[in-house]
């Protein structure tokens, strides 16, 4: 989903991860970073996917939502914005995680 506008950020990180692998391969002969490219890139992709899904379900109420679902959704949003840890997670996930290692 487009929530969080993650596509370009993920693409740039993919290039960074690939560059690290190619650089390591050609400068040291080690294929380890190339061999682990997919796992390293997908770790970030799945975090972004989860974040986008979470934001979408927290901020967009389905047309068929009942009173309980709407109250639960507002409770979730309130939990995030009233907690420094919730706000920190939201900020980190929205702006992106540190680069793949």
What's the pLDDT score for residue 81?
94
Structural domains of the chain in order of their starting residue, each with its CATH number: 7-95 (3.50.50.60)
Side-chain half-sphere exposure of 73, counting CA atoms within 13 A: 15
What's the pLDDT score for residue 8?
83
What's the pLDDT score for residue 96?
74
Cα torsion for 101, 87, 83, 77, to the nearest 10°?
A: -120
Side-chain half-sphere exposure of 1, counting CA atoms within 13 A: 14
What's the pLDDT score for residue 3?
62
What's the pLDDT score for residue 69?
96
What's the pLDDT score for residue 2?
61
What's the pLDDT score for residue 101?
45
> CA 36, CA 24: separation in Å to the nearest integer?
12
The per-residue pLDDT string of the chain (101 residues; one tens digit each, 9 = 90 and over) reads 566 678 888 888 899 999 999 999 999 999 999 999 999 999 888 988 888 889 989 999 999 999 999 999 999 999 999 999 999 999 888 887 765 44
């Amino acid at each position: 989903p487009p929530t969080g506008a993650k596509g370009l950020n993920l693409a740039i990180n993919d290039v960074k991860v690939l560059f690290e692998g190619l650089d390591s391969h050609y400068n040291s002969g080690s294929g380890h970073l190339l061999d682990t490219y997919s796992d390293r890139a997908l770790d970030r992709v799945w975090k972004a996917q989860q974040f986008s899904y979470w934001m979408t379900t927290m901020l967009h109420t389905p047309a068929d939502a009942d009173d309980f679902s709407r109250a639960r959704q507002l409770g979730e949003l309130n939990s995030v914005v009233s907690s420094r840890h919730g706000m920190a997670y939201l900020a980190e996930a929205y702006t992106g995680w540190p680069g793949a290692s």
